[in-house]
Amino acid sequence: MTAERENTAYLGLPQSGPPAEAAPESGCCGGGCCGGGGDVQAGAVTAVYQVGGMASEHCEGAVSLELAELSGVTGVTAVAATGQVTVVSLAPLDEQTVRSVLSEAGYEVVGRA
């Protein structure tokens, strides 16, 4: 497939020939750069937080990037529409650390979902 054809497929523009693979549809970048995506490892811990202040996909990406930087975090999924942020980690995270990181980024952990 040519680069031009790949770009038109990604942008959703009409194209000829067999359909191209669909572009990722989650978050700002399909999850790869935001800590999302990845495989869940055996023994992983999942925590769901209710976060205030998320209003857009940009916010989802910002929250995901901040939490993905925490040691042991293997995946983050933030959904602005519900305010829920799911964090998968190798061990339980310190909730005060999560609150602090998100507070510095301009968001508030309202509680656990």
Whole-structure pTM over 0.85, yes or no? Answer: no
CATH tag, 26-112: 3.30.70.100
Contact 101, 85 (CB under 8 A): no
Give the torsion through C-alpha atoms of 72, 54, 39, 1, to 10 deg.
-130
Look at residue 47 and tell me whether its pLDDT is greater than 70. Answer: yes
Q: What is the pLDDT of residue 41?
A: 64
For the chain, domain boundaries? 26-112
Contact 49, 111 (CB under 8 A): yes
Of residues 17 and 36, the one with the higher pLDDT is: 36
